[in-house]
């Protein structure tokens, strides 16, 4: 039991550490000037907002001048766009491969499954060259295209959701004159909404927190994840803590709202 | 005669209608599939083939074997900085892969206790999921701060016990990534494996209990066989780590001496020397595929014994 508690504390403590330091002056943190000793782990003796103000004014990420507002903008626009595009692609592919029989279906399905075992390391140089040649590096549309992959883990889960929906719903709609597209958008997607919402949230969080692709393909517009990693090289810990707190808070609010759905749909049950 | 002709006409229009439905269905299927498949074709199939082509090219596009020669010539050459760079990167990558296997083992044992419904289970679930939703960069940076001599816990240690985990070239530096991975990875794995354990039929466990089966036997003879598919996915993921771990290395050690991984090496070349990066990518993919398939085959063999 003790091990579970200690481990849980170790995962929560970083937030306390960041919160306490984000409201301290650097002098207090490092024990300079009026402060005889460094106050690294305690709460501030004087709570100040200076670090948050600095975060809003100007931060430097490599050669790019930015601030927390711009980093937020980059993260939000990217995460929303990438999630929307990739979920649309995933739902389309998952639905037709789960519910329709057609020539080449087995080939497509097996190709996707087999190739998912191949690690993505060999394709990166070619992808970079492709993005560079097509002038898509450091463009929003480039990031959307890059992250629009339909296949992968969520594809398998969502196609299993579509498979579970009784086809009689579609047949009834067909008798009422509904076409394939209407059945897909007005019947199948709403019926599979539990799975779709869960993976939309997970994908959104994945894109929001992504570091690899944005630092490689979108470095002129640093996102929060990229910016935070870089500003640790130039800014002092209290300012970095303030930026981190501002990045964490919306995610925690999001988590507080959706945690039941997230935990239930992603963790319960495992694989059968 | 008229009736028969009418029937034939009906059949004909029915066949036409059927064909039209079939045509519409096919058009719908390919309309929905065309973009996902085009993306897959460009960003997976074409990019892998193009990487292969690039690996045999110079920057100006002429045919060369130099990119491969560079790798094989330097494989056994000790560099002034970094020693046997390639061998070290391969060994360190596999070391991190085994660390991930260890992580799955530890998580399985811990998940068993969570499964046994210890008090506070629901709070643990919420907390253990946190590293999956908070940006990895934040956890990595805080990990760095908390284990740093100046800003973290080591400052409370006596001098002879102090170690600098983030000083390049030290043994402690090599432990930064595996310890970080164990720290943030355990919680998520405990939850996933614990979730799989909830599939075990309570009746079977009840019967086992009545027959006096010990906790260890219950875990190894009943629970592990039931959750084998989940464990298989976790173990294959661990092997994937060998070839893909990059961000943690980049942010924790900066790829300092002896802490480079295969993915880190390739990534640091991308944008600077894409052709050498492509050659390395191809070499390690050729190694990765049989390794992953072999591990999968072994896991499937074990699974077959349990009826999967």
Instruction: Please tell me the predicted confidence (pLDDT) of residue B141.
Output: 93
Is a pLDDT exceeding 90 seen at residue B197? Answer: no
Instruction: Please tell me the predicted confidence (pLDDT) of residue B49.
Output: 92
Question: Could you read off the pLDDT of B206-234 as tens digits, one per residue?
Answer: 888 888 888 888 888 888 888 888 888 88
Pairing of strands A64-66, A59-61: antiparallel
State the average pLDDT for chain B.
Answer: 87
Q: Which of residues 203-222 of A touch B (CB under 8 A)?
A: 205, 208-209, 211-212, 216
Cβ of residue A247 closer than 8 Å to a chain B Cβ: yes
Contacts of A132 (CB under 8 A, 6+ apart): none
Contact A92 B155 (CB under 8 A): no
Question: Could you read off the pLDDT of A105-164 as tens digits, one per residue?
Answer: 888 888 877 777 677 778 889 999 999 999 999 999 999 999 999 987 788 888 888 888
Q: Please report, rounded to a whole number, the percentage of residues in chain B having pLDDT higher than 90.
A: 35
Is a pLDDT exceeding 50 seen at residue B44? Answer: yes
Q: Please report, rounded to a whole number, the percentage of residues in chain A having pLDDT higher than 90.
A: 49
Contact B142 A263 (CB under 8 A): no
Is a pLDDT exceeding 50 seen at residue B247? Answer: yes
* Å between A23 CA and nearest CA of chain B: 16
Question: Could you read off the pLDDT of A20-33 as tens digits, one per residue?
Answer: 999 999 999 988 88
Is a pLDDT exceeding 60 seen at residue A272? Answer: no
Q: Which of residues 114-133 of A touch B (CB under 8 A)?
A: 115, 117-130
Instruction: Please tell me the predicted confidence (pLDDT) of residue A270.
Output: 45
How many Cβ pairs closer than 8 A exist between chain A and B?
250
Q: Among A79-93, B88-102, B187-201, B253-267, where is mean pLDDT lowest?
A: B187-201
pLDDT grade, residue B146 (50/70/90)?
very high
Q: Write out chain B residues lying below 8 Å of A228, CB-based.
A: 135, 137-138, 141
ipTM of the complex: 0.87
Nearest CA in chain B to A178: B21
Q: Write out chain A residues lying below 8 Å of B199, CB-based.
A: 269-270, 272
Q: Write out chain B residues lying below 8 Å of A13, CB-based.
A: 146
Is a pLDDT exceeding 80 seen at residue B166? Answer: yes
Asked if B243 and A119 touch (Cβ cutoff 8 Å), the reply is: yes
Cβ of residue B137 closer than 8 Å to a chain A Cβ: yes
Instruction: Please tell me the predicted confidence (pLDDT) of residue A29.
Output: 92
Question: Could you read off the pLDDT of B261-297 as tens digits, one per residue?
Answer: 999 999 889 988 999 999 999 999 888 888 888 988 8
Instruction: Please tell me the predicted confidence (pLDDT) of residue B12.
Output: 73
Instruction: Please tell me the predicted confidence (pLDDT) of residue B2.
Output: 54
At B98 the three-state DSSP class reads: helix
Whether this model's pTM surpasses 0.80? yes
Is a pLDDT exceeding 60 seen at residue A69? Answer: yes
Question: For the residues A241-262, what does the mean pLDDT come to?
Answer: 89
Question: For the residues A180-198, what does the mean pLDDT come to?
Answer: 89
Question: Could you read off the pLDDT of A195-234 as tens digits, one per residue?
Answer: 888 889 889 988 988 998 999 999 999 999 999 988 888 8
Instruction: Please tell me the predicted confidence (pLDDT) of residue A258.
Output: 84
Question: Could you read off the pLDDT of B63-109 as tens digits, one per residue?
Answer: 999 999 988 988 888 887 778 888 999 999 999 999 999 999 999 99
Instruction: Please tell me the predicted confidence (pLDDT) of residue A271.
Output: 42
Provide the terminal-to-terminal Cα distance of chain B, rounded to the nearest Å. Answer: 61
- DSSP string of chain A, one letter each residue: -HHHHHHHHHHHHHHHHHHHHHTS-HHHHHT-TT-SS--SSSPPSS---HHHHHHHH-EEETTEEE-HHHHHHHHHHHHHHHHHHHHHHHHHHHHHHHH---TTHHHHHHHHHHHTTS-TTTTHHHHHHHHHHTT-TT-HHHHHHHT----SHHHHHHHHHHHHS-THHHHHHHHTT--HHHIIIIIIHHHTHHHHHHHHHHHHHHHHH--HHHHHH-TTS--HHHHHHHHTTTS-HHHHHHHHHHHHHHHHHHHHHHHHHHHHHHHTT---
Is a pLDDT exceeding 80 seen at residue A262? Answer: no
Question: Could you read off the pLDDT of B237-246 as tens digits, one per residue?
Answer: 888 888 889 8
Q: Write out chain A residues lying below 8 Å of B236, CB-based.
A: 117
């Amino acid at each position: 039991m003790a091990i579970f508690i200690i481990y849980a504390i170790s995962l929560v403590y970083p937030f306390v550490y960041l919160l306490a330091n984000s409201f301290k002056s650097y002098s207090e943190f490092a024990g300079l000037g009026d402060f005889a000793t460094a106050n690294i782990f305690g709460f501030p003796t004087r709570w100040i907002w200076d670090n948050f103000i600095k975060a809003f004014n100007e931060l430097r990420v490599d050669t790019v001048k930015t601030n927390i507002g711009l980093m937020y903008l980059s993260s939000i626009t990217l995460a929303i766009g990438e999630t929307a595009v990739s979920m649309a692609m995933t739902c389309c592919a998952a639905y037709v491969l789960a519910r329709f029989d057609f020539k080449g279906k087995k080939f497509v399905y097996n190709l996707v499954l087999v190739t998912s075992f191949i690690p993505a390391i060999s394709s990166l140089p070619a992808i970079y060259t492709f993005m560079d040649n097509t002038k898509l590096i450091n463009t929003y549309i480039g990031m959307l295209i890059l992250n629009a992959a339909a296949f992968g883990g969520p594809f398998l889960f969502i196609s299993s959701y579509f498979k579970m929906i009784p086809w009689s719903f579609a047949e009834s709609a067909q008798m009422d004159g509904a076409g394939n597209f209407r059945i897909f958008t007005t019947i199948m997607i709403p019926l599979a909404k539990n799975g779709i919402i869960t993976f939309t949230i997970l994908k959104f969080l994945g894109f929001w927190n992504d570091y690899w692709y944005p630092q490689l393909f979108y470095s002129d517009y640093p996102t929060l994840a990229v910016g935070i990693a870089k500003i640790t090289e130039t800014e002092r810990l209290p300012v970095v803590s303030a930026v981190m707190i501002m990045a964490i808070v919306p995610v925690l609010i999001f988590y507080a709202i959706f945690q039941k759905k997230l935990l239930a749909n992603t963790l319960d049950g495992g694989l059968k | 005669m008229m009736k028969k002709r009418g029937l034939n006409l009906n059949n004909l229009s029915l066949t036409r209608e059927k064909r039209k439905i079939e045509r519409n269905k096919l058009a719908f299927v390919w309309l929905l599939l065309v973009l996902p498949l085009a993306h897959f074709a460009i960003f997976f199939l074409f990019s892998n083939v193009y990487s292969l082509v690039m690996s045999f090219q110079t920057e100006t596009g002429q045919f060369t074997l130099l990119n491969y020669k560079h790798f094989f010539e330097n494989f056994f050459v000790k560099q002034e900085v970094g020693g046997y760079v390639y061998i070290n990167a391969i060994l360190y990558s596999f070391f991190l892969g085994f660390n991930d296997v260890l992580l799955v083992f530890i998580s399985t044992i811990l998940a068993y206790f969570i499964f046994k419904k210890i008090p506070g289970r629901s709070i643990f679930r919420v907390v253990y999921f946190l590293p999956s939703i908070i940006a990895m960069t934040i956890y990595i940076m805080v990990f760095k701060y908390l284990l740093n001599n100046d800003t973290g816990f080591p400052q409370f240690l006596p001098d002879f016990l102090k170690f600098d985990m983030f000083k390049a070239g030290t043994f402690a530096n090599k432990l930064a990534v595996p310890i970080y991975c164990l720290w943030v990875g355990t919680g998520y794995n405990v939850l996933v494996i614990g979730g799989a354990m909830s599939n075990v039929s309570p009746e079977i466990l009840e019967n086992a209990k009545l027959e006096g089966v010990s906790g260890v036997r219950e875990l190894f003879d009943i629970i592990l066989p039931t959750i084998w598919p989940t464990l298989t996915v976790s173990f294959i993921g661990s092997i994937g780590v060998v070839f893909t771990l990059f961000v943690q290395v980049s942010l924790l050690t900066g790829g300092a001496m002896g802490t480079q991984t295969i993915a880190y090496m390739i990534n640091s070349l991308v944008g600077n020397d894409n052709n050498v990066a492509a050659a390395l990518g191809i070499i390690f993919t050729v190694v990765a595929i049989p390794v992953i398939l072999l591990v999968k085959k072994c896991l499937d063999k074990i699974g077959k014994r349990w009826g999967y």
